[in-house]
């Protein structure tokens, strides 16, 4: 059974839940807006489905819900941040204006983040930058769950990559995608719903191919998408996300002393580019030429279109959520 709830009401409930589990006011507000936004946009694998794991991360001390990040200005075009074992969202909020100022001044700017638990999907991190006129890239590594191509044990995380580009007079072009055959959250949802996965998604604990999500999650591993190609991208995310930022590699993350914790404590790198500095003509016009050709070739929907359509529908009619899940959140908010 499903029901509907207004975005602002869901934000308020989630904010109260995070406050009750040890977050500061600012952190609770950031997490609540992000999680409600994912649910609003139909990104269910990063919405309220993740509440249990996020709360376990807080309750077991794996993440500090009151952490205050530190931002370092290390070069004309580079910022470096220490999340102090908190969530990544407060880091991005702290760095947003200084990072955009550097990109405007230099044409490009880089933010590297260490000791911060990446929260939710990647597209909410970079969509705001595109709405301010920037090209934005995000490179994230996470907990080990992916076997490298030709390997026999987990080394990489699902290691998502995100990209956003501004468009004139409409929503930006935004996508993020895992370098694994499937996002870990989607595997968890498939297990919960009793669904099998497509062939080529993962292996069991013995390295045998499997379509059983439980076998992948319980000692098994995901496969990279596209064989060696996805494996190379996952490796790049380890280098750009962890090595550059001074964070943990996916295989170094050990949460065995924090049962139930589910937030990846890796590294993150964000790059902003001012397209007006790179283009010799109108970037906006040239982008629309490409998009028109894509549509003319038969691709009717661009990355992000479904999400924006769901957002508009949710804001007009309320967010459709599972009734039992909403009651659980109400109970958590009430203490």
Which residues are marked as active site?
Answer: 45-46, 186
Helix (H/G/I), strand (E/B), else coil: 19: helix
Q: What does DSSP say about strands 135-140 and 161-165: parallel, antiparallel, or unpaired? A: antiparallel
DSSP 272-305: EE-HHHH-SS-HHHHHHHHHHHHHHTT----TTH
**DSSP H or E segment with residue 72:** strand 70-75
Beta-bridge partners for 173: 165
DSSP 123-191: HHHHHHHHHTT-EEEEEE--SS-BPPTT-SS--B----EEEEE--TTSPPEEEEE-SBSS-HHHHHHHH
Of the chain, the end-to-end C-alpha distance in Å amounts to: 24
Residue 89 exposure: Cα atoms within 13 Å on the Cβ side: 22
- Greatest Cα-to-Cα distance within the chain, rounded to the nearest angstrom: 58
């Amino acid at each position: 059974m499903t029901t509907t709830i207004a975005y602002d009401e869901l934000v308020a409930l989630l904010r109260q839940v995070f406050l009750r589990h040890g977050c500061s006011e600012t952190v609770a507000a950031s997490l609540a807006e992000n999680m409600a936004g994912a649910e609003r946009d139909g990104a269910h694998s990063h919405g309220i489905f993740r509440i249990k794991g996020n709360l376990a991360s807080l309750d077991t001390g794996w993440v500090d819900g009151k952490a205050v990040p530190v931002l370092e200005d290390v070069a004309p075009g580079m910022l470096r941040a220490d999340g102090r074992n908190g969530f990544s969202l407060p880091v991005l909020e702290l760095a947003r204006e200084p990072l955009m100022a550097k990109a405007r001044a230099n044409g490009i700017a880089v933010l590297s983040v260490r000791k911060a638990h990446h929260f939710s999907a990647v597209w909410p991190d970079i969509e705001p930058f595109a709405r301010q006129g920037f090209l934005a890239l995000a490179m994230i590594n996470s907990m080990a769950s992916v076997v490298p191509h030709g390997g026999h044990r987990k080394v990489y995380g699902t290691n998502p990559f995100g990209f956003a580009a501004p468009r004139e007079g409409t929503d930006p072009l935004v996508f993020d995608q895992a370098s694994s055959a499937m996002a870990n959250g989607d595997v968890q949802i498939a297990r919960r719903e009793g669904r099998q996965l497509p062939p080529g998604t993962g292996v069991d604990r013995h390295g045998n191919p499997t379509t059983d999500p439980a076998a992948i999650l319980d000692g098994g591993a995901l496969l990279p998408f596209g064989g060696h190609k996805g494996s190379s991208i996952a490796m790049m995310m380890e280098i750009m996300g962890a090595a550059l930022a001074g964070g943990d590699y996916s295989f170094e993350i050990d949460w065995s002393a924090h049962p139930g914790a589910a937030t990846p404590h890796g590294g993150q790198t964000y790059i902003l580019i001012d397209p007006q500095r790179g283009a010799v003509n109108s970037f906006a016009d040239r982008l629309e030429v490409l998009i028109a050709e894509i549509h003319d070739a038969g691709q009717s929907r661009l990355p992000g279109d479904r999400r924006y359509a769901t957002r508009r529908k949710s804001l007009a009619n309320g967010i459709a959520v599972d009734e039992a899940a909403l009651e659980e959140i109400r109970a958590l908010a009430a203490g």
